[in-house]
Chains A and B, each alone.
Chain A
Amino acid sequence: MQSSLLGSRSLNSYNRAMETICIEGLRKTYRIYRKREGLKASIKGLFRREYRTVEAVRGIDLSVDQGEFVAFLGPNGAGKTTTLKLLSGVISPTSGTARVLGHIPWRRENAYRRRFALVMGQKNQLWWDLPAQESFRLHQQIYRIDPHDFATRRDELVDLLEVRQLLGQPVRELSLGERMKMELIAALLHSPEVLFLDEPTIGLDVVAQHNIQNFLRYYQQLKKISILLTSHYMKDVVALCNRVVIVAQGVIIHDGSLAGIVDRFSGHKVITLQFADHNLPHDLEKYGEIIEEQPPRIKLRVEKQNVTSSLGAILQRHPIEDVSVEDLPLEQVIAEMFSIARQGHPHELETSSTSDS
């Protein structure tokens, strides 16, 4: 069940020049001091320490082409942010290789650092007490952006994000959404070819999220840059990315289209039935699990291969006014995937993923 996008990607992969990011067997493990509860245990810990190894990333392989907008999805602690940090050279891996634009990120070469940007929703890089425009000017000097290019790009970005009147306000006085816009401008001033976005819409209200999504979509299509985005909000992902990489417990369990996730990981569909009156028949459970009952409507979760037969049988036996068949909501499918992964069986999903591609 290979999605069309995966197909087109493998076509592209013949052309190595298009490949922007190439990751092979990337692993990152941390040694963490395990602290037990209580004072007595703490004192014991002074003399004998117990360490625990945390495998944040456990062997990731990924290839991203120029101009792709890829979403990294996964539960908290799945290794998404760690992967972005590895790719931006903030930390070094335990093993494995990665090349971004032909550079090994953790060598921290200036030639590489001029060509990408990282935006983190949880952290800010602008000078807190100064207006954003002062930080922009500093960026111009650090990246040595040509003054003319700098002015053009800044004005373009400022107008797109509608923040012109906020440029002179100290960053600490901006709202979270406004600050995020400024962070994005700061990150894009040097016109990076690769952009890493770590939860750029975290904590924003719906309008602000929507603005940022629109901006990212427009900008990405305009500049054809490669973007890797992590987010908890399905809306971000649906709005922006046609390729989704799902990470859980440090491994990739799915790489393909969003629609592909539902096809692959959900064996069920939801049938909604609307009856003529409030007396619902009692034999519906044999067709599938009842997930919602609001007479005269009822929602059933039915196995995919039984949808036609069940529906036929129901329509034959009962007076039905309206009917609809839908996929399970994406969030729900992904939540189920995550919970399987969390129970410690990511390999279950992993094998199903490798058999697919």
Chain B
Amino acid sequence: MGKTLVEKIWDAHVVKRDEGYPDILYIDTHFIHEVTSPQAFDGLRKRGLPVFRPAQTIATADHNVPTLNQHLPIQETLSRYQVDMLTKNCAEFGVELYGLGHPFQGIVHVIGPELGITLPGATIVCGDSHTSTHGAFGAIAFGIGTSQVEQVLATQCLLQQPPKTMRITVDGMLGPGVSAKDIILYIIAKISAAGGTGYFIEYAGSTIRSLSMESRMTICNMSIEMGARGGLIAPDETTFEYIKGREFAPKGAGWDKALAQWNTLYSDSDAVFDAELTFDAADIEPMITYGTNPGMGIGISQFVPSTNSQELSERPSYQKALNYMGIEDDSALLGKEIDYVFIGSCTNSRMEDLRAVADFVKGRQKAPNVIAWIVPGSKQIEQQAIAEGLDQVFEAAGFQLREPGCSACLGMNEDKIPAGKYCVSTSNRNFEGRQGPNSRTFLASPLTAAAAAITGRITDVRSLLTENTYA
């Protein structure tokens, strides 16, 4: 029997497999950031251990950084202390750091791929659940806790049970105004915020194949939002084309050798998955969430499901979510007034996202009741956006282009949505308070977010698309 892609990569990284024990899994690449690493470095100090393979860990500061005036010292004391601690730890243990002010700084899941560090067939971990993003390159990539960050620093390995495998196939043509974000929000709405728990998901099918690397990253990024351990896409010409020539990508003879190996990275035709799901791209319209987990999503033209349509045991939690959001069941979201638009996060802060938004807002003006932030995923993206003149398009439309970081995705740094306010956000989580205490989040694609910024209301972007508009 053939192997799935996950099994191929996994098996190639098993250092030791003993009956009754988890596998010792070798980790090729480890990313760290300021929030989930300090206790891990502390642990090493307590045990008197060095970092075992410092060249295989890369650090950046992203979660806690301000997105304005990054050239000045961080004002918030605890944030500054945490970022300084990362700098000290990296210096002490010999880990490369792309900190504030470095041209490679940015959101950890944006810079890894952008720098050619994220490669097909690799095992990649980070103390952050959205590490699944790197799976877009055909890698096994997953989020870990701080104790595991310490394990990887100390041993370059993790103890892991082999995962179950699921294949999600999406076939067909996407409609106008429908993007990768809509595909993944649609899948999560179909299988729920827990539907992928325990699985590594391989995304396949003609729709997925037709996507750019940036779109594939958006899909894999949100695998964790259905509980999956990770998500991945078999590498192909699109993948190789993206990687070639990047800063740390293999070059010369190393490239040819790598390419030969990457070409073996696919699920065999007779491989068996533990679960298989199939969706039709034609069924997907622009999506938006209405509740407080990413599984609570609907097509933009649909009504919020009625409480009575929920399982009896689930109704109290369902009603709690709608109360928090200030939304009635059986009502339409279209036309609902909003206060903020956030375009950014490891889900949607790449050049493709910024270009799509710029194309759409060019010559338009944001609604006066809306504050619209665009936060690029990395310093390189910020520079590229400026080089392409997108900063001027955004400014003319009343959008503020800020500096790179996780920003308003997680209500940790200075960028927060005020209590009670509604934000249409391209990020990945709509949990209670995620964007700031009592903030209320509608997750959507960059285009749907941009449309809401222009009209000041939840809007079907398709009603505003012209022939020249990106779609």
Do A and B originate from a single complex? no
